[in-house]
Structure 1
Amino acid sequence: MNDFRLLHERAADQFAELLKTVTPERLGDPTPCPEFDVRALLAHVVNSTHWMAFVGEGGDFRAAPTWSEEVADGEWVAVYDRARGRFDRAWADDAKLARTTELPWGTMPGAGAVAGAVMETATHTWDLSKALGHPLVLDPEPAEAVLPIAREALAADRRGEEVPFGPVREAGPDAGAHERLAAWLGREVS
């Protein structure tokens, strides 16, 4: 099995690089996630990164605090760096990868939880990239690595109330890994 911590680092690196291209004027722009504009998407990614760090620190997901912080327009890079640093520290111990971890979608080894964080980061990296007009070439490996996991864990026939993703969309024969992942998770990628 891949060490998903390394893939998370790569996914987080590309999210951070993309984040550097966000100007204050773009924070209100729409994203492929209808419930999020760019600012809300950034807050969601920071919150989910803190949330997964809390779980990695041994916290019960049901007691995880919601991250909330007033973020000045130019501070998103620093805020995300703090969140991902916490995530990296929380999952640094190899023993945590085998530890049983309980999450809202099931009980799994910690490695599965980290894989979920890769999926989250890679998907929202594509969302942000699309919202910004694809200013950077994305590293396909994190998305490629979690696509089989997404297909298994988020089956097309289980969409609805329990699975908060829209119907699977077509990605097209020439679609890259991020587009295939985004389409599987219900995004319109064309």
Structure 2
Amino acid sequence: MTTDPRPLFARAAEQAAALIGTVRAEQLGRPTPCSEFDVRTLLSHLTGGARRIAVVAEGGDAVAAPPFAEDVSDDGWAVAYDEARIRAVKAWAGDDRLDAVVRLPFGEMPGRAALSAYVMETVTHTWDLSEALGRPLALDPELAEFALTVGHRMLPDEQRDERTPFGSARPAPEGAGAYDRLAAWLGREPLSRA
């Protein structure tokens, strides 16, 4: 993968932050297409993921970084995610991190690949959140196309097993847009069809 994922990560994280800013307290218990997460748990995972990818760029141990933000109150998700997003974007600013080998919970890889994986994760979970909230904002299709390319490369369907955090690929509806194709590749289904 030769694309510099930093501008895409920044856009994906900004898109997630805008959507997180729309969440109301009464929506926190809603289900999401990520069946084990309600909205509150998804916000915790998005925030924890942004913190984790910042730790990676800062040279820390991503395996030790918690995948969930357990220290955020229900009214603090927008601020907590924004702080994590800004920290991650700043941490990845140096070119040296792109080719350095980093360690993630799912293996070692060049920083470029690791950050690309987090673009995919951020974009996918943003779609999950959007579905749970009734699609309040338009999502950037270019980000979904990039995430889908990463998903095809890093998560071939035939290699997924019970440890893979995404389900088996599903067929996308005919004429599906980029987000619906991404969701289908990662085993998700829109809530309206689930």
Q: Under a length normalisation based on structure 1, what TM-score does the superposition of the two structures give?
A: 0.93
Following the alignment from structure 2 to structure 1, what is the Cα–Cα distance between the partners of residues 147 and 66? Answer: 26
Aligned to 1:114: 115
Gaps of 5+ in 2: none
Following the alignment from structure 1 to structure 2, what is the Cα–Cα distance between the partners of residues 24 and 177? Answer: 29
Q: If each structure's helix is expressed as a fraction of its own residues, which one has the higher value? A: 1
Following the alignment from structure 2 to structure 1, what is the Cα–Cα distance between the partners of residues 166 and 78? Answer: 27
Aligned to 2:142: 141
Aligned to 2:70: 68
Following the alignment from structure 1 to structure 2, what is the Cα–Cα distance between the partners of residues 51 and 118? Answer: 13
Task: Determine whether 1:154 maps to 2:170.
Answer: no
Describe the SS at the equivalent of 1:84: helix
Following the alignment from structure 2 to structure 1, what is the Cα–Cα distance between the partners of residues 132 and 63? Answer: 32
Following the alignment from structure 1 to structure 2, what is the Cα–Cα distance between the partners of residues 24 and 62? Answer: 31
Deviation at 1:181, TM superposition (A): 1.1
What is the aligned residue count? 189
Question: Alpha carbon RMSD of aligned pairs, Å?
Answer: 1.4
Aligned to 1:181: 182
Deviation at 1:65, TM superposition (A): 4.5
Aligned to 1:100: 101
Q: Deviations over 1:68-94 (max 9, x none)?
A: 213132x21111111111111211111
Q: 1:65 to 1:43 in 2, by over 3 A?
A: closer
Following the alignment from structure 2 to structure 1, what is the Cα–Cα distance between the partners of residues 85 and 17? Answer: 10
- Mean Cα displacement is larger for which, 41-50 or 9-18? 9-18
Following the alignment from structure 2 to structure 1, what is the Cα–Cα distance between the partners of residues 27 and 63? Answer: 34
- Mean Cα displacement is larger for which, 103-112 or 17-26? 103-112
Deviation at 1:14, TM superposition (A): 1.1
User: What is the one-letter code of the residue matched to 1:72?
Assistant: D
User: What is the one-letter code of the residue matched to 1:135?
Assistant: P
Following the alignment from structure 1 to structure 2, what is the Cα–Cα distance between the partners of residues 146 and 62? Answer: 23
User: What is the one-letter code of the residue matched to 2:46?
Assistant: V
Aligned to 1:53: 54
Q: Under a length normalisation based on structure 2, what TM-score does the superposition of the two structures give?
A: 0.91
Following the alignment from structure 2 to structure 1, what is the Cα–Cα distance between the partners of residues 41 and 147? Answer: 24
Deviation at 1:162, TM superposition (A): 3.1
User: What is the one-letter code of the residue matched to 1:68?
Assistant: E
